[in-house]
Amino acid sequence: MRKSVTLSLQENIEKMRSQKKFAVSLSNPSFDPKELKKISIKNFNMQGKLSGHEKVISLAEKKLLKNWIINKNNKTLITNGAKAGLYCIFKTIAGKNNKNFGIINPNWPTYVDLIDLCNSKSFFFDTHMKDDYEIDFLKLNKFLSTNKIKLLVLSSPNNPSGKIYDTETIANLIKICQSNKCYLVIDESFSSHTFNKKLFDKPINLNSEYLIIVNSFSKNFHLQGLRLGIIHASKKLIERFTNIHIAVNGAPNTVSQYIIYSKKELLTAPNIKDKMTLVANFLKSKNVNFYTPDGSFYLFPQIKNKKNFSQLANKNGLFFLEGREFGNSYKGFYRFCFEKNKSELKKIIKIMEKHEIY
């Protein structure tokens, strides 16, 4: 299994910093520390319940599933992070025999790694900036049937493009996947970071046995170290996901659950639109092509100065994830994370401006 591309990037940065040189990631976030005071877990069961504490499940459904109509046939599982949840899903659907899984590109590289870990094969369906990353449903239907895809995964808000798929698109995806008897996994790990509220004009009914929702307390509320995610799906699927989660991870982290429940003020997503606008305006001033994100904390610009971009960036302490990490069709793009301290963002932009790194 390959090494994490984001961790490899961070190692390069730490190496430069150890040499007293300026180094920062263009592609990864940097969060201000959170202060946790007066947390007592004396009244909380340390062993924990296998699917998560009822109060935390209720919070998850209120905070993370607000764009869905929840019905009695579905359940929510608390997981030790979104990655753990995705692994449980992929492993369950893969079963003992290798399966073909589809990924909507551009994609979060971890999907490929987890699918490989489940001894299954990844097939890729590209979307493109020139089309605003919209999905061609006729082509998708052919893609699913031709490749005998058993599970399709996409992120919305998309990592890295920032594209959010509206309610009509999601409804069509559900229909197409259901007709192909293909599970649809929607990773909504950035759902609280949305800039275009019109895309959610009405809630979507969670009434398909083939629909699986993944989300994350960690990414939405900048609580990465707590490692808490969720899966929402049919009761039958949740039972199978729970069995694998217990076998690999044990019960969901009890201390992390208690922190979230007892410190509900942590469950407020910061307003980061002004940071996105700061970076977007800089890129626009340099005539750089990119999709203005509907959500997440990423932009996915197309490199203008292709000849010298990488060399100039690294020379000036700017490290980044190249577009091909998110799909082979995205050579010449890179992920730009705007979720950073504003002073750090301004410093990055100043360096990019001075050395024509765009």
| CATH number for position 9 | 3.90.1150.10
Query: Is 224 domain-assigned?
Result: yes
| Domain total of the chain | 2
Between these two residues, 218 and 140, which has the higher pLDDT value?
140
CB 232 within 8 A of CB 212: yes
Q: Give the distance from CA 115 to its chain's centroid.
A: 16
Q: How far is CA 241 from CA 41, 92, 173, 212, 274, in A?
A: 27, 7, 22, 11, 39
User: Which tens digit of pLDDT belongs to each residue from 33-75?
Assistant: 777 777 766 656 666 788 999 999 999 999 999 889 888 899 9
Q: Decide if 229 contacts 217 (C-beta within 8 A).
A: yes
Q: Are residues 216 and 276 in the same domain?
A: no
User: Among the three residues 266, 298, 332, which one is the final residue of a domain in this structure?
Assistant: 266
Mean of the per-residue pLDDT values of the chain: 92
Q: Which domain holds residue 75?
A: 54-266
**What pLDDT shows up at residue 298?**
97
Q: Are residues 116 and 19 in the same domain?
A: no
Are both 193 and 338 inside the same structural domain? Answer: no
Listed in sequence order, the residues at least 6 apart from 159 whose beta carbon sits closer than 8 Å to its beta carbon are 107, 108, 189, 190, 296, 298
Looking at 266, 281, 301, which one is the last position of a domain? 266
Query: In terms of domains, do 214 and 322 share one?
Result: no
pLDDT at 125: 98
What pTM value is reported for the model?
Answer: 0.94
Q: Which residues pair with 184 in a beta bridge?
A: 152, 211
Task: State pLDDT tens for residues 149-183.
Answer: 999 999 999 999 999 999 899 999 999 999 999 99
Burial of residue 64 (CB within 10 Å: 0-12, 13-18, 19+) is buried
Residue 149 is predicted with a pLDDT of 98
Q: Which of 167 and 286 is assigned the larger pLDDT?
A: 286
Residues 62 and 160 in one domain: yes
CA pair distance 186, 183, nearest whole angstrom: 10
Q: Is 282 left (phi over 0), alpha (psi -120 to 50) or beta?
A: alpha
Count of alpha carbons within 13 Å of 223, Cβ hemisphere only?
A: 27
Distance of alpha carbon 191 from alpha carbon 199, whole angstroms:
12
Note whether 260 and 280 are same-domain residues: no
Alpha helix (H) ranges present in the chain? 5-18, 54-63, 82-94, 110-117, 137-146, 167-179, 217-221, 235-249, 254-262, 273-285, 309-315, 342-355
Statement to judge: residues 216 and 242 lie in one domain:
yes
Residue 38 lies in a domain: no
Assigned domain for 23 exists:
yes
Residue 110 lies in a domain: yes
User: Where does a domain end: 209, 231, 266?
Assistant: 266
Report CA Rg, the chain: 20
At 205-255, the pLDDT tens digits run 777 899 999 999 988 998 888 999 999 999 999 999 999 999 998 899 888
102 and 226 fall within a common domain: yes
* pLDDT of amino acid 132: 97
Find the CATH number of the domain harbouring 106.
Answer: 3.40.640.10
Determine contact, residues 67/203, Cβ cutoff 8 Å. yes
pLDDT-derived band at 6 (thresholds 50, 70, 90) equals: confident
